[in-house]
Structure formats: C-alpha cells, structure tokens
C-alpha cells in the first residue's frame, strides 16, 4: 500500500488498529495512522455518509482567479490521463474543479468533489485536501490509505497553496484519479503546480505593495502630521509616527483605519488609544482596480493638543470609557489589568448600537459571517430594555404568526429581530413593513434590527439593501475580528469559560500572540471552533502554540523586511522608467531628491 510518499520510510514498525483497520506505525504509514486517529477522534465513520454541502464559498476569490489558469494548463498537459484537478480554500471547501474527460468527471461527481462541498479531514477523514490542511504539507494518498471507504478506489495528490508573504495556507491544489492511474509523479506535479500559483499570488502582492508605497510617498510629501499606510502584511509609517506611538498604539490605529476604509473612501474619527489618550485620524482608502488594498492615515494627537492649550491632562477619553463600557468588566486583559479591555472600533460600534436601541430606531446591522452582529443587538436590548421580548423573524415567516406572537406578548415591550435578512427577496420587505406597522400600532414596539451578513455584492443584493434601508434607516457595520484583535484576550477568556464550564483552561501568551497575527476569516465563530478543538484535545490544561492548527502557528514574518524590499523595488523601477534621471524619478515617486539619494545609498542602488 502506498501512503504519503513525501514521508521517509522507517525501519522498524508496529501495527495499530484504527476504525477496524490496521496501519503500521513508522515512516509513511505512521503519517497515515496519525491522520486516521484524527479522523476517528472527529467522529468520521469509515463507512461514511454524504459529503456535507456548505454552499457559501467564494468561487470568484483571488485564489480562484490565479489558480484557474494553472488548472487549465494541468488539464492540457495531462489530457491522456483520466484526472480531476480541484482547488479548495483554507477550510477544505472546494472552490473550482476541471476534468480531463467526462468519464472521470462523472466518477468524481459521485464523491462530491465539487464547488461548495467540504473535504475537511474532520468531515471526511484522510484525503488529499483536508489532510494537507491538518499537516501543513503535501500528501499523496492512494487507495486504502483513505479513512473513508468511499474514497479507496481513488488516488489523491494534494499540496498547500501558501500566501508567499505571510506563509499562511490560502488553499489546497488536489489531483484525483483512479488508483490504477496513480503514479508518484503526480505528487511532484501537484507541488510544482501549487508553487506556480504561489508565484502568481506573489506578483499580485508585489503590485499592491508598490501601490501602497507610492501612496505613502505622495501622502508623506503633503503633510507634516504623523502618518502611516497599511495593507495586508505591510505597515509603512513616518519616523514621527514611530516616535509618538508605540507598536500596540499603531496596531490599534491601523485596525480602526482599515475598518473605516472598507466603509468609505475618506473618513475622520476620534479613537481612544487608552483611557488617557485620544487621537483623531483622517483616513484615505487606497485601491487597486475595484479592490481595497490598504489605507493611508494622518494622525492628530488630541491628548498633546489639549495639554498644550489648557495645561491639564486630557480626561475626556477616560470619562467616555466609563460611560460607554460595552460589556461586563469580568473579561480582563491577560497582559495588564489597566490596559484597554476593548478595541476602539468595538467601543465605537457598541456605542452606536446602544444609541440606536435607546432611541428606539429601526437599524440595519451588517457585517461578515461570525462577527457577533446578533449578539451585539441582544446585549444592548437586554441592558436597556431588560423586560422586552425579542421576537425573531426568519426568512419565509408567516405574517399572521408574527402578529399573533406580538399580540400575545405578556411583557408589554417588543423588539423585532429580523435574522438572515440577506436571504430575503425584495418583495418580502413588504411583509416586514406590515409587521413593523402592526407592532407600532399596538404601542409596544421599542425598536427593531435587520441582521445582514455581507456577501459578494450583486445587483439583487444591492436592490434588497436599498429596500431594507427604506425601513431600517440607520446602518451599523460590525467590524471583522481582524480589525479588533485587541479584543482577543477578552473573547478568548469568555469563550473558554463558556465551553469549559469552570474556566480552568487558559491560553499561553505566546499562543495569544499568534492569535493576534492570524486574520480569522471565520471571525468569532472560527475562534470558538479553534478553542473548542484545543480543549477537546487538552482539557483542563494550558493551550500552547504547539496545540494550535498549522494555519495559526506558522512562523510569523516581519513587515519591515517586506517594506524594505518593496521600497527598494519601487525606487529601482522608477529609475528605470526615467532612464536613470534621479530628478524625474524622485518626482514620480513623490519624494524629495535628498530622500531619494539617502534611500539609494541605504539600499545600495
């Protein structure tokens, strides 16, 4: 039996029994056995069942865009071999698939290797997608090495597709064929093809970073205020900003600025860095085509201005912090009892939601899946109207049933919560309007909220949002977890208390630091899943870096190295485009000639 061909074979081996089948421990088979043990622990049955359909996958993502030409080339090169080529996201969900012929396509359809289906190892056991994600390495799994008996007639070769800068796994490239057509060459083939996709992703990143550097150069020339430019894996700041704000303060500013950039091209807002320090930031969105790739931020330190003018400490922030504290103070930051417990962006959105509930407004609450939109509203309603009944309205609701529930309410006060509003049809908004009118006429409506999970924009979705906004005038956007990582210590402790019961489990400071550097595409829902899995593996013990999934515990990179590379490349490119003329190059970069000469000397250009 062929196992994982990129493992070295050992000498002495012993047999283990997993799921009623034997596997030898040592070399390639040890890797298979470890995967089988994980599969069994996750509750996967060897006899299996239907592959779970997720459906909510981004088939037009950046990963698919750059993988598609590679998939087409693979099909062209292997046209004589019955082969299916698929790419999945970093959760094991299939995004795209191509086949060399219809016969293999029909066979692979029977195992649901199709867009929207989950091939996570915890769902279907050892396979060429999920096992790559669990192990963080390429695999070649043939026949009986599959845990799920349904897959044992197939051979799967899979390789991780990593973001070239962060090192995080973005997805998996998988080659599937029948066992009789399998060859170890497929393993080399899939690794080479995955590397080609990574190169394409790198070139895309380099373009975006050059755009960010150019934007920084131009903005730096126009302002004397401390400023910075931030994008994915890139932070460029002026020396003045570096001197005035420490790393944690810069992170807070960046996360809040990126949140604002997703909402509007330009924005101005005051944010609290600590109870004693408030700054005003002016943000400018930086785009590449239709994609937002970063933000430029000019910063005014209101604390220093106030101290200079009045000669007293700036107290406004501390007062507002006490008034607007969004959650109970039980969730202390691990690092310091006096450090801010919540991010500025979370305080801002919490304040907006409480204000809307207090004014009995109809509000549209938007945000990515898993960010806590509904919980945010429920907490505000529970605090301000503790006796109010929250009436849930789901897509496909019956108007008369909702009316009856409102009419029979004993508490007197009703708050309407319209869940999964993105699934409504535009004409359904009329029924929502009917319910709102009925509740208002009975005099017991204290407000309502429509919860909308943001998806890829479309004309129908835009039309639905316009219809909803006609009823729910105010809109509150709940930030994703990647824009509020200062909240992670509190969220981690809160979730651990909920799932462990007695709060005995803890997360080490090193693991918490890795959490803060991870983008959390699944937001709080993903954080809960990760912590639940860690606790199931290590109950009542400290969770350390080694206990975390591979995608989170990968080595971190330093943005300074990226910046130096990007800055040098931008200067070289400008000099080439201007035939070595330093005056014109400096002008095109938006920097002074003296700055150009200094940077050329520093980078030995």
| Residue 358: its H or E element | helix 344-358
CA distance 315 to 304: 12
Handedness of CA 571, 575, 581, 586 (dihedral sign): negative
Contact 388, 407 (CB under 8 A): no
CA distance 349 to 377: 11
The beta strands (E) that lie in 26-153 are given as: 84-89, 94-99, 139-142
pLDDT value of residue 26: 37
Contact 108, 83 (CB under 8 A): no
CA distance 218 to 589: 7
pLDDT value of residue 302: 81
End-to-end Cα spacing for the chain? 56
Q: pLDDT for 425-435, tens place per residue?
A: 777 888 888 88
343 closest CA partner among 484, 463, 207: 484
Structure tokens at 329: 């103070």
Q: pLDDT for 540-552, tens place per residue?
A: 678 888 888 877 7
Q: pLDDT for 331-347, tens place per residue?
A: 333 333 333 468 888 88
CA distance 391 to 216: 49
| 365 phi/psi in degrees, rounded to 5 | -110, 115
pLDDT at 129 over 50: yes
Kindly state the DSSP code that residue 118 receives in the 8-state scheme.
B
Q: What is the mean pLDDT of residues 270-279?
A: 86
pLDDT at 2 over 70: no
pLDDT value of residue 325: 39
pLDDT value of residue 172: 96
Mean pLDDT, all residues of the chain: 80
pLDDT value of residue 424: 82
Domains of the chain: 14-203 (3.30.450.40), 223-317 (3.30.450.20), 344-482 (3.40.50.300), 558-602 (1.10.10)
Q: pLDDT for 56-74, tens place per residue?
A: 778 878 899 889 999 998 8
- pLDDT bracket for residue 539 (50, 70, 90): low
How much of the chain exceeds pLDDT 70, in percent? 81
| Residue 584: its H or E element | helix 582-589
Q: What is the dihedral of CA 460, 462, 465, 467, to 10 degrees?
A: -70
| Residue 497: its H or E element | helix 488-500
CA distance 332 to 129: 39
| 522 phi/psi in degrees, rounded to 5 | -95, 5
Contact 79, 158 (CB under 8 A): no
pTM of the predicted model over 0.85? no
Q: Which residues contact 74 (CB under 8 A, 6 or more apart)?
A: 83, 85, 98, 175, 189, 193
pLDDT at 514 over 70: yes
pLDDT value of residue 133: 93
| Residue 367: its H or E element | strand 362-367
pLDDT at 244 over 50: yes
Largest distance between two CA atoms of the chain: 82
CA distance 378 to 359: 15
- pLDDT bracket for residue 18 (50, 70, 90): low
Cα angle: 408, vertex 411, 416; to 5 degrees: 75
pLDDT value of residue 156: 94
- DSSP H helices in 96-171: 102-109, 121-124, 130-135
CA distance 88 to 96: 7
Structure tokens at 594: 């003296």
């Amino acid at each position: 039996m062929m196992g994982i061909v990129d493992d070295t074979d050992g000498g002495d081996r012993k047999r283990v029994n997993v799921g009623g089948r034997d596997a030898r421990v040592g070399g390639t088979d040890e890797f298979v056995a470890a995967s089988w043990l994980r599969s069994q622990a996750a509750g996967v049955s060897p006899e299996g069942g239907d592959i779970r359909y997720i459906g909510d996958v981004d088939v037009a993502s950046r990963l698919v865009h750059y993988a598609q030409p590679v998939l087409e080339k693979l099909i062209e090169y292997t046209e004589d071999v019955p082969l299916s080529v698929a790419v999945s996201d970093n959760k094991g969900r299939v995004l795209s698939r191509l086949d060399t012929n219809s016969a293999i396509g029909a066979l692979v359809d029977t195992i649901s290797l199709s867009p929207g289906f989950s091939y996570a190892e915890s769902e279907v056991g050892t396979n060429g997608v999920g096992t790559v994600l669990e192990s963080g390495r390429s695999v070649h799994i043939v026949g009986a090495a599959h845990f799920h008996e349904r897959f044992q007639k197939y051979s799967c070769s899979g390789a991780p597709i990593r973001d070239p800068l962060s090192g995080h796994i973005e997805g998996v490239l998988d080659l599937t064929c029948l066992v009789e057509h399998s060859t170890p060459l497929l393993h080399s083939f899939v690794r080479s093809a995955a590397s080609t996709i990574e190169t394409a992703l790198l070139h895309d990143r380099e373009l975006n970073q050059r755009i960010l550097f150019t934007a920084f150069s131009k903005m730096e020339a126009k302002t004397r205020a401390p400023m910075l430019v931030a994008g994915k894996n890139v932070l460029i700041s002026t020396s003045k900003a570096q001197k005035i704000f420490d790393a944690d303060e810069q992170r807070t500013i960046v996360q809040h600025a990126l949140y604002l950039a997703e909402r509007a091209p330009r924005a101005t807002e005051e944010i609290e860095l600590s109870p004693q320090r408030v700054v005003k930031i002016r943000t400018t969105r930086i785009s590449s085509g239709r994609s937002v790739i970063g933000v430029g931020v000019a910063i005014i330190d209101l604390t220093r201005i106030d101290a200079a003018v009045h000669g007293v400490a700036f107290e406004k922030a501390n007062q507002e912090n006490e008034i607007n504290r969004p959650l109970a103070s039980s969730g202390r930051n691990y690092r310091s009892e006096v450090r801010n417990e919540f991010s500025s962006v979370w305080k801002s959105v919490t304040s907006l939601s409480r204000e809307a509930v207090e004014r009995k407004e109809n509000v549209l609450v938007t945000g990515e899946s898993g960010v806590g939109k509904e919980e945010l509203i429920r907490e505000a309603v529970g605090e301000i109207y503790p006796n109010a009944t929250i009436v849930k309205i789901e897509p496909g609701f019956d108007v008369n049933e909702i009316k009856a529930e409102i009419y029979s309410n004993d508490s007197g006060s009703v708050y309407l919560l319209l869940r999964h509003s993105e699934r409504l049809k535009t004409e359904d908004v009329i029924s929502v309007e009917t319910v709102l009118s009925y509740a208002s006429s009975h005099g017991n409506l204290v407000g309502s909220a429509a919860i909308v999970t943001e998806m890829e924009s479309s004309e129908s979705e835009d039309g639905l949002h316009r219809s909803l906004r006609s009823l729910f005038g105010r809109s509150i956007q709940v930030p994703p977890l990647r824009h509020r990582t200062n909240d992670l210590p509190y969220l981690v402790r809160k979730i651990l208390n909920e799932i462990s019961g007695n709060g005995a489990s803890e997360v080490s400071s090193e693991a918490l630091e890795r959490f803060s550097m991870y983008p959390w595409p699944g937001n709080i829902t993903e954080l809960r899943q990760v912590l639940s899995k860690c606790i199931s593996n290590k109950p009542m013990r400290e969770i350390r870096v080694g206990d975390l999934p591979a995608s989170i515990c990968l080595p971190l990179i330093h943005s300074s190295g990226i910046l130096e590379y990007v800055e040098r490349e931008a200067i070289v490119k400008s000099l080439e485009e201007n035939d070595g003329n330093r005056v014109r190059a400096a002008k095109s970069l938006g920097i002074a000639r003296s700055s150009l000469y200094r940077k050329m000397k520093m980078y030995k250009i």
